[in-house]
Structure 1
Amino acid sequence: MDSPILRALFSDIVLQPQSGKAVYLQLAEAIIDLIKRGRIPPGGRLPSSRDLAGILRLNRLTITKAFQELEMQGWLEGRVGRGTFVGSNLPELRAQRLSREGVTEGGKHQAGFEIQDTAYLRHGVDPVTTRLHLDDGFPDPSLAPLKELYRAYRAQLDRGDLYGRFGSYGHAKGSERFLDSLTRYLNLTRGLNITVRNVLSVRGTVMGINLVCNGLIQRGDIVVTGVPGWRRAEANFQHAGAQLLGVPIDRDGIQVDVLERLCRTTKVRLVYVTPHHHYPTTVSLPMDRRLELLRLAGKYGFIIFEDDYDYDFHYKHKPLLPLASADDGGMVIYCGSFSKTFSPAFRLGYLVASENAIAHLASVRILLDRQGDHILERAMAELLDDGTIQRSLRKAVAVYRERRDYFCGLLAEELGSGVQFDIPEGGLTVWTHFDRGLDLARLAAETRKKGLYLSDGAAHRYPTYDAHAIRLGFASSTKDALEESVGVLKEVLKIRL
């Protein structure tokens, strides 16, 4: 070998014969890395297979296979009687532009291009990793019909005509069987008057919101949400370029009189509401405000996005029917999911709207997701048709009502004046106010040290709103776990953080 520099470069290559990957492929990747980093320029000559075999203590056949692989990929070119060279048509890559800075053993951690950072995207994920949890209102998966779902899903795979059902893409709107079953279910339980042409299957509420943002919101549009509200929905509207305006929430939900004053001076494109149990406060929008909201939508021409994330969980009386059930003008886009019926990991939901709106959103959906999981959708259709979902919900509601009552009793008896709350008529959480002298971030940190998860309330604070409150979810815990959780909370509160 003529060049001591090349000898040094190739001497630094480390191969791992026990890794499971062919050694010649490892060598090929190492040579590509040298070329990418500009250590060997286009047209540069490589050591002969004999010399390289000596340096790396490999069989010449291994070296030859690596060279042949790289020639086929276009990285190298062999010249008869002269040797092997880096492809002359490759662009010259300078080492300083493709340096190893920012690259770790586990991969690249710093992009070479600019990424615009925005505050609304820094929501992150706060997974529950502790044994005890007073979460954001998650269901108890042990109450879900998981065995029935498993049997229904497996049955879809065992039936004949696999190509007819799974051999090609289906409709972006969803499985016809699922849409048909879901339509009947929603008409029966929500008082809707719809056909399958009014329904679109989505992978949960967030996807439904995102589709509406992509398909119906343009940059600069005005979107109104309640304050406080759901940050994940707000982030979607902001990412779509909408201007976000807030309307206050009181004990009866969004203040429609304030909304009307806003509409008189501002062209509102969409109003996002959670009328059944407002997020995060859990209050229900009364009938007079519901009817007024529908009237305002017709008068001022704005879309109502009705996020009905926990319609099935109401304890005092039958829940008020959705806004969509009284919508005669086609102004409401109704969104729901089965995440609370099963678990947050179960991603299957739906949008309900006018036929032309659904057709448009289905076309937009193809840009993001060609179609949903039609096997899962057909399995869900079976559970809707045979009454499994309805029976499971009746059982879950009874259990959650009992847990709510027990939990609220514990809060009142054990924490006393340390907390203030109203017993929620429905939903899976208690909106709980704490003394303003208490640091909620420190409270959350200290309870986690003792094995209890709860929120620090930061997501519910706004420049114009701070109730110093957090959502304490009771549904996902047994009575024993709730008692233990309140015990931990009581112990930490005694320290007066």
Structure 2
Amino acid sequence: MDSPVEIPYRSFIKIDRKSDTAIYMQVAHQLINAIQRGSLPLGTKLPGTRALSTILDVHRNTIVAVYDELFAQGWVESVPNKGTFIIGKNEEKPMKIGIFNKNSLRLYPQSTGFSFKTTNILDNPFEHSDCEYMFNDGVPDIRLTQIDQHSRIYSSILKRKKGQYKMLGHYNHDGSEFFKKNLANYLNLSRGLSVSKNNLLITRSTEMSIYIASEILLSEGDVVLVGDLSYFSVNMIFQKMGVKILSVPIDDEGLSVEGVREICKTQKIRMLYLTPHHHYPTTVTLSAQRRLELLSLANEYGFIILEDDYDYDFHYDKSPILPLASADTNGMVIYIGSFGKSLAPGFRTGFIVAPENLMKEMRKYLGIIDRQGDILMEQVLGEMIAEGEIHRYLKKSLKVYQERRDRFTELLNVHLGEYIKFRKPSGGLAVWVEWKVPINLMQLSRKCSYDNLFLPKTILYQNRGLTAMRLGYGHLSFEEMESSIKILAKNAKILIPIDKL
């Protein structure tokens, strides 16, 4: 074996004297790293503590601590009258240790040493940009959230002594009992449901809720119906499950009941996924008559209705139509939604409403993927409901979003009215815009980006018979709206042929 003095230790042991990690631990970790990667062969004799301390310019006691750590972890052994050696015998011919690249021991492998399944179904569809302005598919404005007030409730819960153990003791992996009780009351009052906390599962998001429901309710080869245009993330989940997805036409009254009925006559349908309050992405509301007809079809043909009520809280012109789940008496509807969507992102959560026998199975799955949950945040949300804070906040924010909707649609008419058609939505945070003259939306997106406006591909819908966009306005101030729409209009007019103007 080469003499230890020939090994260039300083080339692969780098000491950061500003780090919070003790120097002896830094050196020990880097020596272990070298052993694991074969850069220090088994059986190598290490320098004496005095010699290595000189090489690394540290105190000898530091190296003594390093060797003690290596010995305690089982990497080295001390041989009387001979020195300290790396444990193990290298059966191969000893390797001459050459010059180390200064980063050679810090590089993590670029690829695995084993094969695994890959999929492009779950490729991240979301894009990011540094543009000053952007449209999205309709999200709240976090600048409106009363983060200070929410934080005070959170902080007060952390400081409480009385009742802390009771709160912790009543928590299990499917959600805070306190929060579920208050959320059930909230849903019963606001959505016309008749559920208890035993019918609720608390999740992190709508997508997580749908994933759990799909794992339990769907099998490979099942037929799932979705709208002709539907939420891309949910479609990705269904595709990953290996189901057969069939689309149903959408018109001004929402999902076509006749379309569902015709498919039911020829195939066994396992599930119908829909967003009836404001269909995604077109924002149309499913009429009350069609809701009753769909429930009747579900009872007749035995398919599940997975109702995603992603933005029920955002309605302006009239009272919202109650969800299908409120009229379901045969247990055919699984109701999924989100709570606190108008709050800061960290204060939001998802939920599933279902009969107790299905809920029992769902809790098993949640116990695997999210056993700990977030007890403190759920306690905050529960108290916001119990104290009426969530009602006051929603009332205040809805007024702002209604004003933004009115201003946004006014600006669309002023700058693009002759090129587009749209209907002012009764709720939600987005407008569905269809172009009267087909233009290349990807080209439009690129041109707008040069003017500091980002149009992500997830809001663009284009095929042979449709050129449309889902333009979210909730996150924009009046000034940002005007700037964004002017940029959009300017570049759209460049792409529209002159003979079409």
> TM exceeds 0.5?
yes
Distance change in 2, residues 1:109/1:285 (3 Å): farther
The one-letter code matched in structure 2 to 1:294 is: L
Q: For residues 227-376 of structure 1, what are the structure 2 equivalents within 5 Å?
A: 227-376=228-377
Percent identical residues = 37
Distance change in 2, residues 1:379/1:47 (3 Å): same
**Which is further off, 321-330 or 246-255?**
246-255
The answer to whether residue 72 in structure 2 is matched with residue 86 in structure 1 is no
Tell me by how many angstroms 1:326 deviates: 0.6
Partners of 1:343 and 1:284 in 2: CA distance: 27
Partner of 1:491: 490
The one-letter code matched in structure 1 to 2:48 is: S
The one-letter code matched in structure 2 to 1:317 is: K
CA contact (8 A) 1:172 1:363 kept: no
The answer to whether residue 123 in structure 2 is matched with residue 122 in structure 1 is yes
Partner of 1:475: 474
Tell me by how many angstroms 1:116 deviates: 3.1
The one-letter code matched in structure 1 to 2:45 is: R
Structure 1: 5+ residue runs without aligned partners?
none
Partners of 2:291 and 2:217 in 1: CA distance: 23
Partner of 1:387: 388
Structure 2: 5+ residue runs without aligned partners?
497-501
Q: For residues 13-52 of structure 1, what are the structure 2 equivalents within 5 Å?
A: 13-20=12-19, 21-52=21-52
Query: Helix, strand or coil: the match of 1:268?
Result: coil
Distance change in 2, residues 1:449/1:107 (3 Å): farther
**Which is further off, 443-452 or 371-380?**
443-452
Tell me by how many angstroms 1:89 deviates: 8.1
Distance change in 2, residues 1:342/1:109 (3 Å): farther
The one-letter code matched in structure 2 to 1:287 is: A
The one-letter code matched in structure 1 to 2:336 is: C
Distance change in 2, residues 1:135/1:18 (3 Å): same
Distance change in 2, residues 1:386/1:163 (3 Å): closer
TM-score by length of 1: 0.89
**Which is further off, 174-183 or 34-43?**
34-43
| Cα displacement string for residues 281-332 of structure 1 (whole angstroms, at most 9, x for unaligned residues) | 1111112221222122222222211110111222332111101001111111
TM-score by length of 2: 0.88
The answer to whether residue 164 in structure 2 is matched with residue 170 in structure 1 is no
Distance change in 2, residues 1:59/1:158 (3 Å): closer
The one-letter code matched in structure 1 to 2:189 is: L
**Which is further off, 69-78 or 337-346?**
337-346
CA contact (8 A) 1:148 1:383 kept: no
The one-letter code matched in structure 1 to 2:141 is: D
CA contact (8 A) 2:174 2:371 kept: no
Query: Helix, strand or coil: the match of 1:468?
Result: strand
CA contact (8 A) 1:428 1:474 kept: yes
CA contact (8 A) 2:347 2:381 kept: no
Partners of 1:490 and 1:275 in 2: CA distance: 31
Partner of 2:406: 405
The one-letter code matched in structure 2 to 1:79 is: V
**Number of residue equivalences:** 489
CA contact (8 A) 2:441 2:462 kept: no
CA RMSD of aligned residues (A): 3.0
**Which is further off, 198-207 or 264-273?**
264-273
CA contact (8 A) 1:145 1:388 kept: no
CA contact (8 A) 1:457 1:470 kept: no
CA contact (8 A) 1:457 1:469 kept: no
CA contact (8 A) 1:145 1:389 kept: no
Tell me by how many angstroms 1:461 deviates: 5.3
CA contact (8 A) 2:126 2:456 kept: no
Partner of 1:156: 157
